[in-house]
């Protein structure tokens, strides 16, 4: 839902619609009626307010920081950007690297 309504709207539509009063005052997700742009049908919509989104971001960053400090390892993508291979392999979080798959010629037996 967040991906479709917020992220995609912000990127592809240069914004996303919100009920300005509730977006800035509600503390947690809430349900409200909604009407689609193409018709008169009413639906229940689940909405997330700004404070909930910023709390989600804050918590995610705190958890990510705690993981980095605990493991002392970097995820594969970040490692590839800032570390020297093979000199700094001790800093690679191997769990973040997809399993190795060996591809070879398909030789019938």
Range(s) of the domain holding residue 63: 2-72
- Count helices and strands in the chain by DSSP H and E runs: 5, 2
Residue 35 domain-assigned (yes or no): yes
Of 19-23, 52-56, 59-63, 74-78, give the range with the top mean pLDDT.
59-63
Q: Is residue 33 in a domain?
A: yes
pTM (two decimals)? 0.62
Residue 10 forms part of a structural domain = yes
Taking 3-state DSSP, the helix, strand and coil percentages for the chain, each rounded to the nearest 5, stand at 50, 15, 40
Mean pLDDT value of segment 43-52: 88
Residue 108 lies in a domain: no
pLDDT tens digits along 66-107 = 999 999 999 988 898 999 988 999 999 988 887 765 555 656
Report how many domains make up the chain: 1
In a domain, 106, yes or no: no
Residues 6 or more apart whose Cβ sits within 8 Å of residue 5: 16
Q: Is residue 92 part of a domain?
A: no
């Amino acid at each position: 839902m967040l991906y479709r309504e917020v992220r995609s709207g912000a990127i592809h539509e240069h914004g996303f619609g919100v009920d300005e009063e509730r977006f800035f005052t509600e503390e947690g997700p809430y349900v409200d009626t909604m009407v689609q742009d193409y018709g008169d049908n009413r639906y229940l919509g689940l909405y997330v307010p700004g404070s909930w989104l910023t709390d989600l971001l804050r918590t995610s960053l705190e958890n990510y920081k705690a993981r980095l400090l605990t493991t002392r390892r970097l995820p594969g993508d970040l490692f590839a950007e800032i570390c020297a291979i093979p000199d700094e392999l001790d800093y690679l979080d191997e769990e973040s690297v997809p399993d190795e798959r060996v591809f070879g010629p398909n030789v019938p037996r």
